[in-house]
Amino acid sequence: MDMKRVKDYIYWLYFQYLLITCSYVLEPWERSMFHTITVTVLAMVVYTAYVFVPIHLRLAFEFFSQILGGQPEGTV
């Protein structure tokens, strides 16, 4: 792919984002505040998933392995 097509595609994705969120009608300072809040919330969601999902998956695996007849770790 040449760089012009990549640049056009990224611009198209950004334009779709503006259309979906209706932020194209906002004033520039409102748009920057909206983008800042959106990026902050998205970063917090990604961080929370990165930290807590593996812990919950491990606990769920241990719980279901005990229910299905697995041996507890202390007896192995």
Encode the chain (76 residues) as per-residue pLDDT tens digits: 688 999 999 999 999 999 999 998 999 999 999 999 999 999 999 999 999 999 999 999 999 998 887 666 665 5
Distance (Å) of CA 17 to CA 40, 56, 71 = 16, 32, 50
CB 21 within 8 A of CB 34: yes
The structural domain count of the chain equals: 1
Expressed as residue numbers, the domain containing 31 is 3-69
Domain membership of residue 76 (yes or no) is: no
CB 31 within 8 A of CB 23: yes
pTM score: 0.64
pLDDT at residue 75, as a whole number: 57
CB 30 within 8 A of CB 18: no
Put residue 27 in one of left, alpha, beta given phi > 0 → left and psi -120 to 50 → alpha.
beta
Domain membership of residue 38 (yes or no) is: yes
